[in-house]
Amino acid sequence: MSLSGIQIYKLLPASSKNAEVKKHGNCKECGYPTCLAFAMKLAQKQAELAQCPYVEDESKSQLEASAAPPVRLITVTGTERKLEVGNETVLFRHEKTFFNQPGIFVRVKDTQADAADVAKAVDAYSVDYVGMDLTLNGIAVEAAGGDFAATVAAVKAATSFPLILLTEDPDTAEAGLKAAEGTRPLLWAATADNWEAMAKLAAEYKVPLAVRADDGDVAALAALAEQVKGAGVEDIVLDPGARDYGSSLTVFTQLRRLAIKKNERKVGYPFIGFAGDDASLAGQHIAKYAGFVVLDSFSPGTVYPLLVMRANIFTDPQKPIQVQPGVYEINNPTPNDPLMVTTNFSITYFAVANEVESSGIPGWLLVADAEGMSVLTAWAAGKFDAERIAKGVKGNELEGKLDHKRIVIPGHVAVLMGELEEELPGWEINVGPREAVDLPNFLKTQWG
């Protein structure tokens, strides 16, 4: 149960009856002027309990329960890879950030002869997106009347990803769990009719369990989750039973609001959404607020935009995507080839690097540490200036690597030319084009 700021304050050192603990009250070591100020931040989930080193053990247990994220962290594992979902604390990422990306799974049936081949294709699929490797997350194996255990075993052998076991029959579920030994799959699903047997299996095999209600019935879903929890299963995933756009959006949002805004622990779990082959519905589930998204088939053309969308949504809006500052060699440059400079904002770097690489022109690209900002933004913020560029040139010992002293700066910061000449005496400063797409032609005509 969530505690108020005053209730939290009564558990902090300033209110302790233990004299040794009380003397640490209002010590400011947490970063706040008083224990009361710290308590208010804890109540708003804007501070971490670990910031106070003097909380008594008894108080700590109460405070940790109160401070636990409103959406429980659920972990599933495969033979080599794992997926964590949940642990979310906000409705909208700009309020803080989203922490754990939803897992995208591809469904196979135990009647499919190519189930293992599909699993291999999913396992192998990876695309590079501005320096990030984007992949899917697992396979959902459905009991459809075939040999479920054999299919689970074959899929498990074909992929390093986690599994979801889709069956409402307890005997079939147990056979699948035995076949998945050595991994930690998600078991789907407990219903009003089978929850006792499914909860017993989940507790015995120590796996998370999805509970399913019909037609978006939130009250029934919450009640079923409480019954499963009471049977000893802590790791629960919610399936409201909604499968279309309107009802799934409504119930997923309602459940997330209850967990985040009302701190309703009965529904404080990740959700699973089934999108069929509808990429738009899968995109809605990613945005609002599924922890697991199940597709009916694998198609690179379908999953690529979903992976990019997911990466963009789950990028911390307060921390731009960055690349490591340093010198990057493009197309095997020689000491006579051009030296260019840009910032370490990921999109800026890849825009420049991709244009040069695709042109076939060899060159050296100096990436300055601009705290992940684009060229103009960094320049305006004082994070991309002549001093930083010169520091990059000297720090990377470029004078010893090159047979020339010429550097091309972005056209948007031509104003830095004079200052850079002062910072790099003897160097020729060339002002390049404003847009990366014009860089290859500039190098062909201006460098020689």
| SS3 assignment for 358-391 | HHCCCEEEEEECCCCCCHHHHHHCCCCCHHHHHH
Mean pLDDT for the stretch of residues 172-192: 98
Q: Residue 191: pLDDT above 90?
A: yes
User: Residue 319 domain-assigned?
Assistant: no
Question: Are 405 and 387 a contacting pair, CB within 8 Å?
Answer: no
User: Residue 320 domain-assigned?
Assistant: no
- The per-residue b/e assignment along 420-435, b for 16 or more CB within 10 angstroms, e otherwise, is beebbeebebbbbbee
Question: Are 340 and 365 a contacting pair, CB within 8 Å?
Answer: yes
What's residue 2's pLDDT? 65
Q: Is 127 helix (H, G, I), strand (E, B) or coil?
A: strand
Mean pLDDT for the stretch of residues 24-42: 91
User: Residue 321 domain-assigned?
Assistant: no
Mean pLDDT for the stretch of residues 390-419: 94
CA distance 158 to 229: 33
Note the Cα 403 to chain centre separation in Å: 44
What's residue 296's pLDDT? 97
Residue of 40, 96, 41 whose CA lies nearest to 71: 96
Question: Are 333 and 399 a contacting pair, CB within 8 Å?
Answer: no
Q: Is 105 helix (H, G, I), strand (E, B) or coil?
A: strand
What's residue 1's pLDDT? 53
Between 50 and 341, residue with greater pLDDT: 341
Between 238 and 58, residue with greater pLDDT: 238
Q: Are residues 121 and 241 in the same domain?
A: yes
Q: Are residues 171 and 287 in the same domain?
A: yes
User: Residue 9 domain-assigned?
Assistant: yes
* Segment holding 395, helix H or strand E: helix 386-395
Mean pLDDT for the stretch of residues 305-330: 90
User: Residue 44 domain-assigned?
Assistant: yes
Q: Are residues 113 and 175 in the same domain?
A: yes
Domain boundary, last residue among 263, 290, 313: 313
What's residue 448's pLDDT? 66
Mean pLDDT for the stretch of residues 100-111: 97
How large a percentage of the chain has pLDDT more than 90?
80
> 4: pLDDT confidence band, cut at 50, 70 and 90?
confident
Mean pLDDT for the stretch of residues 154-183: 98
Domain boundary, last residue among 31, 49, 67: 67
Q: Residue 67: pLDDT above 90?
A: no
What's residue 146's pLDDT? 97
CA distance 285 to 272: 9
The total of other beta-carbon atoms located within 10 Å of residue 239's CB is 21
Flag the least confident range among 46-50, 293-297, 340-344. 46-50
CA distance 5 to 210: 34
What's residue 331's pLDDT? 95
CA distance 277 to 419: 57
Q: Residue 306: pLDDT above 70?
A: yes
What's residue 431's pLDDT? 95
Strands (E), 78-223: 82-85, 103-109, 126-129, 132-135, 138-142, 163-166, 186-190, 209-212
Q: Are residues 399 and 422 in the same domain?
A: yes
Determine the structural domain holding residue 266 and report its residue range: 74-313
What's residue 318's pLDDT? 76
What's residue 209's pLDDT? 98
What's residue 130's pLDDT? 75
How many domains is the chain partitioned into structurally?
A: 3
Q: Are residues 118 and 236 in the same domain?
A: yes
Flag the least confident range among 22-26, 269-273, 279-283. 22-26
CA distance 116 to 147: 13
Question: Are 317 and 94 a contacting pair, CB within 8 Å?
Answer: yes
CA distance 97 to 254: 20
Q: Are residues 87 and 233 in the same domain?
A: yes
Strands (E), 222-372: 236-239, 272-276, 292-295, 326-330, 339-343, 363-368
Q: Are residues 126 and 266 in the same domain?
A: yes
Question: Are 277 and 302 a contacting pair, CB within 8 Å?
Answer: yes
Q: Are residues 169 and 265 in the same domain?
A: yes
Q: Are residues 298 and 335 in the same domain?
A: no
- Residues 198-209: pLDDT tens digits? 999 999 999 999
What's residue 41's pLDDT? 86
